[in-house]
Amino acid sequence: MGEGGDAVSLAAFIADQRTSHDVPQAVSCRALGVSESWFYKWHDRSPTPAQQRRAAVDTAVEQAFTASGAGYGSPRIHVDLVEAGWTISVNTVAESMARQGLVARVKKRRKNLTRQDKSKRPFPDLVCRDFTAPAPNVKWVGGRHHRDTHR
């Protein structure tokens, strides 16, 4: 029965069919099994307190999400809203974000290639950082074989 499963969502769907697709409400009502008088009763009705709260929550969540630079997910937005005085659960924030299509930006993790082992003893500098040689095969530089490092 509509997006949220409530009667007002069904009435909104029928109204949307009328305005967006030129489907008369009589046809939509008949197809969905509701009377036209029911449609007018629900369509012209003011929002319920639950719908008003949902709209207020959606607005607050969207503002907090925008203020975070689209980087916060529902747990961090929940913390911001609680600090702002809201009485709200993390799941309600997550549902509001999903309803509005708000998705936090995932931080890219830095990919380092090799990390130096700070606890190991460094190799001795036998050439004193002078890599020039008077002739070939006089100076050889490089690391020890991995089996020699554990002796």
- The predicted-structure confidence for 63-79, as pLDDT tens digits, reads as follows 999 999 888 999 999 99
**Cα–Cα distance measured from residue 125 to residue 68, given in angstroms and rounded to the nearest whole number:** 50
**Cα–Cα distance measured from residue 30 to residue 8, given in angstroms and rounded to the nearest whole number:** 17
Tens digits of residue pLDDT in 104-130 = 887 777 777 777 788 888 778 878 888
Single pTM value for the model: 0.51
Mean pLDDT of 22-51: 85
